[in-house]
Structure 1
């Protein structure tokens, strides 16, 4: 294992994952416990993502939950990874995050995505008569920036929100978002933890097309990866079976809460499902400190991302905290 710490900021993406036998309320308490833990370890950000109609994910009311996390921590940056902007009026998002920034100044990030964060039926329920909202994503971002600007003199004002320094990030899992982040001169975060196929193409496009802006003078990239670390490779691989089982539910269209680990996945997945899952989870690093260290360094060497954000779906909460602790020890 390399004795020199990895020189990158390290952050957390959390989905308030609901465990089998527990409720969303339990998930919220687990998320706060994790945020407090990684804050002490020196992680930079704690982000939460908007999802809907998923029994395993309780972070649907993202802005509300971020207030709970920010209120229970002191220094770590708290933000959305992300808010699915087409699901909301830009003014409401400006007011919500303006409120958060007013309460917790200098600690709030606003990551924006264009996907609904759910299935199409639920998306229609969210967007009601505005089903084409995703096609207006660039205009919605500009409207949101207008409301947050100190120069806004229009009849519609975001109070609170106006004039506050709330960094906006563009999130994506395809090359479309890379073009948008580049032309707008905004930092770019890629969802390689579940959609790795276009990661390298998107990073290349973003860097080549980037135009400096009042927000950012050069490209800044962050990639999300799955990491499960333990004392041994065998222990980490056993912990990962919870994650595999939950992900199988996504592949099969039968969503489930995060289940306890099993000794073996044999007989649980078939050959096709295993291959599909391995393809989706290319950016997943599981093992001992030494194993994860090698994997993370290889990922950074290939992608040259400026920051790593990590998610870990582990059933045992003490083991999850330890995974983040082991990972942090690899970084400078």
Structure 2
């Protein structure tokens, strides 16, 4: 199969950053946030389109649990890059609260805020209950919550008895996020942009994107489908260095499947002896949508990934222990794609 895409097309799409504010082994949340802001400032300088932060809870290695707060911190320390959620897990929150929070952010940083929404809890069931979610909820209520949220942001909501202030009448782009076909179909039905989590759900990527595009109905928001796809990229100046750096991410993912979630660990020379063959196969399958390598290897694999997905935009997750190496990875991608 020919995966070739000429560099002109490679340079035509947009590239964005997905950040979980990683807390490294021995590090603190404060350090994680300083690194997040520094990365956002560099990403803006290099030409990345948007900078999204993800809501997760009860995860020792993820600092972005209070997602709206971190978005405000990043937006306040940057000037032009779009900042948003990748995503807010709406079933964890009252729609009115999210409308107010993002209405506040949009009022502070007009024209720069995105609201990406997911329907998973972003946590385990015990934590989900601690977040005041109905223990029986399974995400099926998401369409109704989304409708409530959109109604609070609608300009016509000023006549309602319950109003989102700030929030009502503000033009805040809403994205639906998903790792299966559910949100793909809903985004298509509503004519909204869609972002797929290929970085941890690679098997469902093409079916979900196909479903979104085939079912899409034009709306006031979009006249044609717009799909952004999540991708893990760990780039370095040499292939060996990239694969060494990637062991931090692999160890962290392994700790999740072992139910021993940890801070982002330092890289190791080899994963052999750390994971079993069964664990290795599981981790590598889940992280199949990952590009690891030097400049030429990353460029070639980017061609293949874009050929397979036909993504309108890529949002890149890069979990690297050393902050300077993480910056360098994003810089290499910026150079390959012509942003920098």
Residue 107 (structure 2) aligned to one of 99, 102, 107? 102
Match of 2:11 in 1: 6
Asked whether the 8 Å contact 1:86–1:127 carries over to 2, the reply is no
Match of 1:274 in 2: 280
Over aligned residues, Cα RMSD in angstroms? 1.3
Residue 145 (structure 1) aligned to one of 135, 150, 159? 150
Which consecutive residues of structure 1, in runs of 5 or more, have no partner in the other structure?
Answer: none
Range moving further from structure 2, 105-114 or 117-126: 117-126
Residue 196 (structure 1) aligned to one of 193, 202, 208? 202
Q: CA deviation at 1:130?
A: 6.2
Q: CA deviation at 1:251?
A: 1.4
Runs of 4+ in structure 1 displaced over 6 angstroms?
A: none
Aligned equivalents of 1:234, 1:142: Cα separation in 2: 49
Q: CA deviation at 1:136?
A: 1.1
Match of 2:306 in 1: 300
Pairing 1:121–2:126 present = yes
What TM-score, normalized to structure 2?
0.95
Q: CA deviation at 1:99?
A: 0.2
Q: After superposition, where does 1:76-95 map in structure 2 within 5 Å?
A: 76-95=81-100
Q: Secondary structure at the match of 2:336?
A: coil
Pairing 1:261–2:267 present = yes
Pairing 1:244–2:228 present = no
Q: CA deviation at 1:132?
A: 2.0
Pairing 1:15–2:20 present = yes
Asked whether the 8 Å contact 2:100–2:167 carries over to 1, the reply is yes
Aligned equivalents of 1:107, 1:74: Cα separation in 2: 9
Residue 50 (structure 1) aligned to one of 55, 79, 83? 55
Aligned equivalents of 1:216, 1:65: Cα separation in 2: 28
Q: After superposition, where does 1:25-44 map in structure 2 within 5 Å?
A: 25-44=30-49
Pairing 1:183–2:169 present = no
Which consecutive residues of structure 2, in runs of 5 or more, have no partner in the other structure?
Answer: none
Aligned equivalents of 2:132, 2:155: Cα separation in 1: 29
Aligned equivalents of 2:294, 2:188: Cα separation in 1: 37
Compared with structure 1, are the counterparts of its residues 208 and 128 closer, same or farther at alpha carbon in structure 2 (3 Å cutoff)?
A: closer
CA deviation digits over 1:184-229, x for unaligned, max 9? Answer: 1100000110111111110011000001111111100000000000
Compared with structure 1, are the counterparts of its residues 130 and 144 closer, same or farther at alpha carbon in structure 2 (3 Å cutoff)?
A: farther
Q: Secondary structure at the match of 1:161?
A: coil
Q: How many pairs align? A: 332
Match of 2:322 in 1: 316
Pairing 1:229–2:207 present = no
What TM-score, normalized to structure 1?
0.98
Aligned equivalents of 1:76, 1:137: Cα separation in 2: 29
Compared with structure 1, are the counterparts of its residues 273 and 8 closer, same or farther at alpha carbon in structure 2 (3 Å cutoff)?
A: same
Aligned equivalents of 1:3, 1:10: Cα separation in 2: 14
CA deviation digits over 1:234-278, x for unaligned, max 9? Answer: 110001111111111011111111111111111111110110011
Aligned equivalents of 1:231, 1:93: Cα separation in 2: 41
Asked whether the 8 Å contact 1:169–1:188 carries over to 2, the reply is yes
Aligned equivalents of 1:112, 1:123: Cα separation in 2: 16
Aligned equivalents of 1:92, 1:172: Cα separation in 2: 22
Match of 1:154 in 2: 160
Q: CA deviation at 1:133?
A: 6.5
Aligned equivalents of 2:257, 2:79: Cα separation in 1: 38
